[in-house]
A and B are shown apart, each in its own frame.
Chain A
């Protein structure tokens, strides 16, 4: 009985432990410099005026930050909470260095000489390091320590895995929070860059609304040709989106655009459609 009570206390203590902790003391030798920072959508501009919109479009909810010092070295650590894991991952995929592979930190992360980022659940962490030199050892230490304090989703959104790998620029799939392909009617969705064009995938709330959206898309592109993919599909040409093939499968609308000459748009879109669950 005593043992059960002890375990219960342990569980309660663990649950009560502060989550998403950022602490300069997490890595030996570092100390906090100045007060902690805290921002919400209404005052994020105080901290990063000129860059805040880039957070707000990914449904930014709040940010906590600290600055850590070790001798002359400074780390500026900011942990942002977005509305959900999908948008947190979207923020990460928009701001990560697209020429450097994603590491398995949380849902994904990168540690560069002067910058580290990772996303886990609905949290997006950024660390900027000064002065100019390789800070990756310290950055890795903080990333590991902070990542441990965040619970929740560690896998990227399912839709990312639906993009066919053949020809896909590695780690290029990202969430576009508004106007996918520059089309306002495609409100939010994923884009993946391929050697021969780009793929997109938009989820509507229902198959009916997706069907209505397909009609609007066809009207917008003008002349189109029906093709046999999933529930319905068409190919067309557009001055800025070049050759494109769009399909609807249930509540999802997807396809390829900006296809380079000679590439079979229908075949490419068929592969994507086959992956959509």
Chain B
């Protein structure tokens, strides 16, 4: 019960979690106390924040165009006042940028467009940018991200140089990095090179550990504009039709509650939920005017309750309890890499780094499991699952 209430408190408090304390322990990079505070304004059914040091005044709900099929939805979003649109060179084989450009052409001067390159060399990146601008039908983009960087080493000097060249040429206004995993390592590296970067685009949602909020806060303090993605907790990513999780996430209100949970974090300046239809658009717009409420907290707490048997808090209570000597919380964490965050290879790699005596244990060989999780995780079942998919 204690955990349940604390988890609910976490959801309710969100940003009130002692993030700064965690930041100081998890990050050693310089923090700029003079970094601009995000301005928050609300007008005409829209709310705005300043995208960190870029100074761009962005709507707190933007538009992730990746899987949008119909440009009329993008056009309507612009008409309704959403001013931040995110695409990438690689989306839909390059067709996405063309569609986004055509949909936003009439309003281009009042909008901010972000795109990304997955290139690994300077020349390839610059080639990608030229292609992006051509497809988008514009002479510049506001933000150009290095796409899906999960390791500090991927922020190479030549990619940074490509962004600098593009800035000097006026083809981009600001340089960004998108991060789907390895958030701590990447933001640390960005902070160390903070003069080179302006915007961070991490995945961020209510299912993440509170430590993620600390990273977001650190990014804000460093002056980066922060754009949240995967804000719906990957509702379509992890859950499949017919599964309870899918039904829960599709339930009326759950997606909006998840979006509002991110929007209420003032260190996140805008968000880019994927939007495929007019109804989703209208629902998402409400996240800008309807504050996160007790009812949202209940919806999200129910969601967390649903995943409770699967979701390890890494409290460590179970360690040393296994008579076979399994590092239980570690293995559950590895499993969460694969099943919670879609990082199968990381989970497997971590599992295989365990000593062989731990790797070779099969929980099915025990008739009784003495490990009990105080938070309700079905330990034996989850360990068995990890052994099944990793060993």
Residues of A within 8 A of B (CB): 41-46, 48-54, 56-57, 94-98, 117, 132, 176-184, 191, 239-241, 258
Contact = CB atoms under 8 A, between A and B. Distances in A.
Given A98-B95, A184-B280, A50 B116 contact: yes
B44 interface: no
Residue with the greatest number of chain B CB neighbours at <10 A, chosen from A48, A50, A117: A50
A258 B277 CA distance: 16
Contact of B236 (A46, A53, A241): A53
Interface string B169-190: 0000000001011000000000
A42 B88 contact: no
Given A43-B345, A50-B148, A94 B276 contact: no
Given A49-B181, A51-B91, A182-B277, A57 B67 contact: yes
Nearest to B178: A50
A43 B70 contact: no
Contacts of B93: 94-97, 117
Contacts of B274: 53
B278 A94 contact: no
B46 interface: no
Nearest to A47: B345
Nearest to A39: B344
21 contacts: A43-B345, A46-B342, A50-B88, A50-B118, A50-B178, A51-B91, A53-B66, A53-B237, A54-B91, A95-B93, A97-B95, A98-B95, A132-B127, A176-B69, A180-B70, A182-B72, A182-B73, A183-B279, A184-B280, A191-B70, A240-B73
A181 B66 contact: no
Interface of B: 66-67, 69-70, 72-73, 75-76, 88, 90-95, 98, 116, 118, 124, 127, 147-148, 150, 178, 180-181, 236-238, 240, 274, 276-280, 338-339, 341-346
B69 A177 contact: yes
Contacts of A49: 148, 150, 180-181, 342
B70 A176 contact: yes
Given A94-B92, A178-B276, A178-B277, A42 B69 contact: no
A96 B147 CA distance: 21
A117 B94 CA distance: 13
Q: Pick the 8 closest A-B CB pairs, nearest first.
A: A95-B93, A43-B344, A179-B277, A45-B342, A182-B73, A49-B180, A182-B70, A50-B148
Nearest to B281: A182
Nearest to A257: B72
Contacts of A48: 148
Nearest to A117: B93
Contacts of A117: 93
Nearest to A46: B345
Residue with the greatest number of chain B CB neighbours at <10 A, chosen from A46, A183, A239, A258: A46
A240 B66 contact: no
A56 B237 contact: yes
Contacts of B178: 50
Contacts of B118: 50
Given A50-B88, A53-B236, A56-B237, 10 more contacts: A49-B181, A50-B90, A50-B148, A53-B67, A54-B92, A57-B236, A94-B92, A178-B69, A183-B278, A241-B72
B67 A46 contact: no
Nearest to A95: B93
A92 B339 CA distance: 28
B12 to A, nearest CB: 30
Contact of A240 (B67, B75, B181, B341): B75
Nearest to B238: A42
B342 A42 contact: yes
A177 B68 CA distance: 10
A50 B345 contact: no
A95 B75 contact: no
Nearest to A50: B148
Residue with the greatest number of chain A CB neighbours at <10 A, chosen from B70, B180, B274, B339: B70
A96 B95 CA distance: 8
Contacts of A176: 69-70
Residue with the greatest number of chain B CB neighbours at <10 A, chosen from A41, A95, A241: A95
B129 to A, nearest CB: 14
Nearest to A240: B72
A126 to B, nearest CB: 8
A95 B72 contact: no
B237 A95 contact: no
B342 A97 contact: no
A17 B336 CA distance: 38
Contacts of A191: 69-70
Nearest to A40: B344
A42 B339 contact: yes
B101 to A, nearest CB: 13
A37 B343 CA distance: 15
B237 A45 contact: yes
A56 B67 CA distance: 10
A144 B391 CA distance: 38
Contacts of B277: 178-179, 182-184
Nearest to B180: A49
Contact of B76 (A46, A57, A240): A240
Nearest to B344: A43
Contacts of B341: 45
Contacts of B73: 179, 182, 240
Contacts of A98: 95, 98
